[in-house]
Structure 1
Amino acid sequence: MNVLKRCFVVLVLSLLPLWAWAEPLDINTATADDLAAAIDGVGKAKAAAIVKDREANGAFKSVEDLARVKGIGKATIEKNKDKLTVKSAGAAPAAATPASTKAPAETKH
């Protein structure tokens, strides 16, 4: 049993560096659960408030924009800024342009 415990500990410790290379979380596309798991000091309720703010006021332009959410202060942002990013502006996709209804131009022979 001791051997099994040691193997487990070695396995866990060997995987720790992989978490350091994890890609930062995009705050404009993350779910409340993702935000709660990634941001130290933010629980599910505060993460839900981040998503609600994003839906009501539009995409965050920078990680520092999280400060517009009540209860998210500069200290929380500073502590987590390396884990977060803003990759997408959250803009709605452009509407499809309808095909032209003009008749094809006549060619001269």
Structure 2
Amino acid sequence: MRTYTTTSGSDDSISTTLHHVYEFLTREGRSVRFEEENGPATTLEGDIVTVHYTAARPEAATAHAPRPFAMAAGTVGMLCFLGLIVVFCVFFMTTAHSMFAADDMFNDMP
């Protein structure tokens, strides 16, 4: 494993990104190397880390620990937000329909 940093931005605002390059052997003995951004700064070159990957796609490996609760919470939050938008749209349509339907009532008068 090795680490390096990159900087980006302008004179007013500069950001530094820490990159880690990992290499591991799959169970089949295949050597895979991958790179990730924003890993822990306490992980240094030569450290041994746990790598998470699927047997079908070892090149899509990650050294970040799986976070199923955070993913589920994000999905639930997005669904609630989209549900709120749908409820607002239905409320808006029914309100607009009832307002315009009341206008039609006066057009039928002699």
Indicate the structure (1 or 2) with the bigger Cα radius of gyration. 2
TM-score bucket (shorter structure): under 0.3
Of structures 1 and 2, the one with the larger relative CO (CA 8 A, separation 6+) is 1
Task: Identify the structure with the greater strand proportion.
Answer: 2
